[in-house]
Amino acid sequence: MDESTTRRKKIDPKLYEVGWEQVPGSEILNEQRAYVIAPGRVEKLKARNPKKVDYILEYNGMKLAVIEAKSDETHVSIGVPQAKLYAEMLQIRYTYSTNGDEIYFIDMGVKDANGEYVVPSTEKYVDRFPSPQELWQMTFPDVNEWRDRFNAQSFNRDGGRLPRYYQENAINNVLNAVANEQNRILLTMATGTGKTYTAFQICWKLFQTKWNLHGNDQCPRILFIADRNILANQAINDFEQFPEDAMVRITPAELRKGKNKVPTSRNLYFTIFQTFMCDDGSGQSYYKQYPNDFFDFIIIDEAHSYSGSSAVELKYQIRRILDAFGTTLLAH
């Protein structure tokens, strides 16, 4: 049989048999519903040859496994390199290659920040695919309420836009750090990869799940701080899906209108260092008007773009922020 027929007659039934798309919250993402990993090389007549994942197994809003499908006339080992490649790119630990008759399982292992294995990679033949609950337990053996709530909260889809695979990787990594109560997070993404959009989706999930450092049923207070007005203005425009009355742009004009008192009734605050750090007329900086537990999450935008004396000044300003607010920091 060709690959399409193999999938329909052999692979899909094996997945249904163990509960995929039968158990509430479980989904089989295939073809157009799965990722296009990359747009592919531009060929003659601008044709493209994209990398597409055959199957992604998703449960409780989390993508848990990749499956590379081949024809039942092909040896199962042929799909192993692609299965590993897609799992690595998507940062998914478990991946499978199958020809409908045999199933080859790969655990990609777990690496530390230095790229060294803390859990080694393993490979073996298995008799069946895991059920949604089994795959969830394999991936998340420990209970974490906030991780599960973040995963269950869908991305903002207004305008039909969804995160690309590398943006989703970044969002999940940051939110997992938040769920594990890590209060210093560095997110590094290349220029042009949508850092502000990624930050927006992170904030969207924090806002919708009502995560905050105080553990109460209130939306978080988030500070977005940059070094230039153009970046702060761009950010508040990119966050337009939030309610207008939830956001405020802290500017000198806004502060004068408030008689040099900082705004405190919103959830998202956008400003620049120069405004936030300047004297409020009483001999102290504006940021000191906020209690040290006021902000739940702080985003410092474009921190990588500083060099020389600017980098020294930025480091000093960031340290002042960290000393003033015992809160989570995202710098990118």
CATH number at residue 230: 3.40.50.300
pLDDT in tens, 149-182: 999 899 998 877 889 999 999 999 999 999 999 9
For residue 312, name the pLDDT band (cuts at 50, 70, 90): confident
pLDDT score of 251 more than 50: yes
pLDDT per residue as tens digits for the range 122-152: 999 999 999 999 999 999 999 999 999 999 8
What are the tens digits of pLDDT across the range 72-121? 999 999 999 999 999 999 999 999 999 999 999 999 999 887 888 889 99
Q: Which of 107, 139, 171 delimits the end of a domain?
A: 139
Q: Are residue 61 and residue 99 in the same domain, yes or no?
A: yes
- Lowest-confidence range among 126-130, 208-212, 219-223, 311-315? 311-315
Choosing from 139, 160, 185, the residue where a domain stops is: 139
Number of domains within the chain:
2
42 — pLDDT class (breaks 50, 70, 90) = very low
pLDDT of 46 higher than 50: no
24 has pLDDT over 50 = yes
- For residues 207 and 89, membership in a common domain is answered with no
Q: Are residues 228 and 285 in the same domain?
A: yes
Domain that holds residue 60: 3-139
Mean of the pLDDT values across residues 37-50? 48
CATH of the domain at 64: 3.90.1570.30
Q: Are residues 130 and 163 in the same domain?
A: no
pTM for this one?
A: 0.85
**pLDDT band of 198, cuts 50, 70, 90:** very high
φ, ψ for residue 267 (rounded to 5)? Answer: -110, -30
193 and 61, same domain (yes or no): no
Q: Has residue 40 got a pLDDT over 70? A: no
For the beta carbon of residue 113, count every other beta carbon within 10 angstroms.
Answer: 5
Assess whether 210 and 322 both reside in one domain: yes
Q: Where residue 47 falls among pLDDT bands split at 50, 70, 90?
A: very low
Quick one: pLDDT at residue 43?
A: 41
| 201/313: higher pLDDT | 201
Helix (DSSP H) and strand (DSSP E) numbers for the chain: 11, 16
Average pLDDT over residues 229-257: 93
Q: Give me the mean pLDDT over the 258-277 stretch.
A: 94
Helical axes 145-152 vs 165-179, angle rounded to 10°: 150
Q: What's the confidence (pLDDT) of residue 51?
A: 74
Q: Both 174 and 292 in a single domain?
A: yes
Do 164 and 306 belong together in one domain? yes
- Measured distance CA(102)–CA(106) in Å, rounded: 13
- Domain end call among 139, 162, 194: 139
Pair 249, 118 in one domain: no
Q: Are 6 and 70 in contact (CB under 8 A)?
A: yes
pLDDT of residue 176: 93
Q: Is the pLDDT of residue 270 over 50?
A: yes
Split at pLDDT 50, 70, 90, the class of 33 is low
Is pLDDT of 313 > 80?
Answer: no
Asked if residues 84 and 28 have their Cβ atoms less than 8 Å apart, the reply is no
Of 215, 113, 115, give the one whose Cα is nearest residue 173: 113
Q: Are residues 99 and 162 in the same domain?
A: no
Are the C-beta atoms of residues 326 and 292 closer than 8 Å to each other?
yes
Are 128 and 237 in a shared domain?
A: no
pLDDT of residue 39: 46
Tell me: do 61 and 203 sit in the same domain. no
